[in-house]
């Protein structure tokens, strides 16, 4: 990894000893980066937790790095901090190995499987909603994290919504997520990393025992589909490969969906005109099943979802590591350099979006199509070979949630709109307190 001296020609702000810019960026990641871009331009260096990174800012940079036509940028090297908890996951693979495993993973996301997941989610979601209070304030963010975990048990693992095993699995997933964000990277007893490693080992042991049965009998949950998945040449995964891929998948699906739905609910409560538009859209579907045809008619809901992801993307920064020397925007950047891309800040740039901090889902309507101003202007799901494989599943889940909720309820804020913590995973500071009013 290049030293500070090797990056001396890259501009950047003065850094404090040891902690560098860590506290400044943690306090206001977007504002700090926007200020650094103004001062130093779209290429500058920062130091986070002792690691020097070169920030490549803007849509052109994301196109160059994420499309990566020269195999220059390693996702495995960029996400190095996740290796202890999620070894061998798709996000932590590069080039030929990544392409081969992504082809197998896509079998679990084929159209017929998605329809099975939708049916499973529809029933589970309605059952879980019934436990939420009406006309009484509660923390939506905490509730939706619990709901997505329990849905994950049903849809991703084929487990019942409740029961001792589901609860232990959910706790292990939460312990893994906390460990992946921990500053201490060693499993010292009683630290988040120690708990995360124990959670990882519990999940691996639990699901390894299920693999023979799932391979023999199949099932309409993700885990069963991954046990059976084959690419076009008939290649599948070993037991260890299934466990590695599945472990990362359930983490990625949990927090990203909880964040997106929290942003949407806050926006709808803060903008009653848009909430009424979506209530009308859902009412227009009638009382029939929420099948593919019905969900396909939820165009305004889809635009609200896209706007929520633009304003508060679940993954606001994308790391990579340079595998070889390369040149960008007048700078020679050496091999081994940690790279940071900035989709969150880019999606708030007036270069691509009008009045970029305003909530305005109509910017995605065909007559405006601001997201088409650059092919990498709107990138909450990443891009290139590593573009989120669950993008369409996520959209399906969000539409099912909105349709199920707004068929029977109207949402109101129970207090002021929260401020959003942007890093490491976006969440509303102090929670998101709302009241559900029956229609």
Whether 42 has a pLDDT exceeding 90, the answer reads yes
pTM over 0.85: yes
Domains and CATH numbers, the chain: 58-438 (1.10.630.10)
Whether 4 has a pLDDT exceeding 80, the answer reads no
Residue 282 to residue 280: CA distance in whole angstroms: 5
List helix spans (H) across 271-370. Answer: 272-283, 292-296, 299-311, 343-346
What letter would DSSP give residue 312? S
Give the Cβ contact number of residue 378 at 10 Å: 25
Phi and psi at residue 437, in whole multiples of 5°? -105, 125
C-alpha neighbours within 13 Å on the C-beta side of residue 286: 5
Higher pLDDT, 189 or 219: 189
Work out the end-to-end distance of the chain between its first and last CA atoms, rounded to an integer number of angstroms: 58
Using one digit for the tens of pLDDT, what is the confidence trace for 271-299? 999 999 999 999 999 888 888 889 999 99
Q: Among 98-112, 197-211, 384-398, which is the least confidently predicted range?
A: 98-112
Residue 301 to residue 285: CA distance in whole angstroms: 13
The predicted structure's pLDDT at residue 276: 97
The predicted structure's pLDDT at residue 83: 84
The predicted structure's pLDDT at residue 115: 77
Using one digit for the tens of pLDDT, what is the confidence trace for 52-80? 999 999 999 999 999 999 999 999 999 98
Q: What is the mean pLDDT of residues 396-415?
A: 93
Using one digit for the tens of pLDDT, what is the confidence trace for 151-181? 777 777 777 766 677 778 878 888 888 888 7
């Amino acid at each position: 990894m290049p030293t500070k001296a090797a990056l001396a020609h890259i501009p950047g702000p003065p850094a404090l000893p040891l902690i560098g810019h860590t506290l400044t960026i943690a306090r206001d990641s977007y504002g700090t980066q926007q200020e650094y871009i103004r001062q130093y331009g779209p290429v500058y260096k920062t130091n986070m937790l002792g690691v020097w990174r070169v920030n490549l800012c803007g849509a052109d940079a994301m196109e160059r790095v994420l499309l990566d036509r020269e195999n220059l940028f390693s996702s495995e090297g960029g996400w190095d901090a996740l290796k202890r908890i999620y070894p061998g996951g798709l996000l932590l693979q590069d080039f030929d190995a990544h392409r081969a495993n992504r082809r197998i993973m896509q079998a679990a996301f084929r159209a017929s499987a998605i329809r099975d997941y939708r049916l499973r989610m529809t029933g589970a979601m309605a059952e879980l909603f019934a436990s939420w209070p009406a006309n009484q304030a509660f923390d939506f963010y905490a509730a939706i994290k619990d709901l997505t975990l329990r849905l994950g048990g049903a849809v991703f693992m084929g487990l019942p919504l409740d029961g001792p095993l589901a609860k232990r699995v959910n706790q292990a997933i939460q312990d893994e997520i906390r460990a992946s964000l921990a500053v201490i990277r060693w499993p010292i007893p009683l630290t988040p990393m120690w708990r995360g490693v124990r959670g990882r080992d519990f999940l691996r042991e639990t699901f390894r025992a299920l693999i023979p049965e799932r391979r023999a009998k199949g099932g309409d949950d993700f885990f069963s589909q991954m046990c059976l998945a084959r690419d076009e040449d008939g290649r599948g995964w070993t037991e260890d490969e299934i466990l590695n891929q599945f472990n990362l998948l359930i983490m990625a699906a949990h927090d990203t969906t909880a964040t997106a739905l929290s942003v949407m609910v806050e926006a709808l409560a803060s903008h009653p005109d848009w909430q009424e538009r979506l209530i009308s859209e859902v009412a227009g579907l009638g009382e029939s099943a929420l099948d593919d045809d019905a969900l396909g008619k939820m165009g305004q809901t889809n635009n609200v979802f896209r706007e929520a992801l633009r304003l508060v993307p679940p993954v606001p920064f994308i790391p990579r590591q340079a595998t070889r020397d390369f040149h960008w925007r007048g700078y020679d950047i050496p091999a081994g350099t940690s790279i940071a891309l900035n989709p969150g800040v880019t999606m708030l740039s007036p270069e691509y979006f009008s009045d970029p901090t305003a909530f305005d889902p109509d910017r995605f309507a065909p007559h405006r199509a601001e997201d088409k101003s650059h092919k990498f202007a709107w990138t909450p799901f990443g891009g290139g070979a590593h573009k989120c494989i669950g993008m369409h599943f996520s959209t399906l889940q969000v539409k099912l949630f909105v349709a199920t909720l707004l068929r029977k309820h109207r949402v109101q804020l129970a207090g002021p709109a929260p401020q959003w913590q942007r890093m490491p995973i976006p969440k509303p500071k102090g929670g998101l307190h709302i009241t559900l009013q029956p229609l």
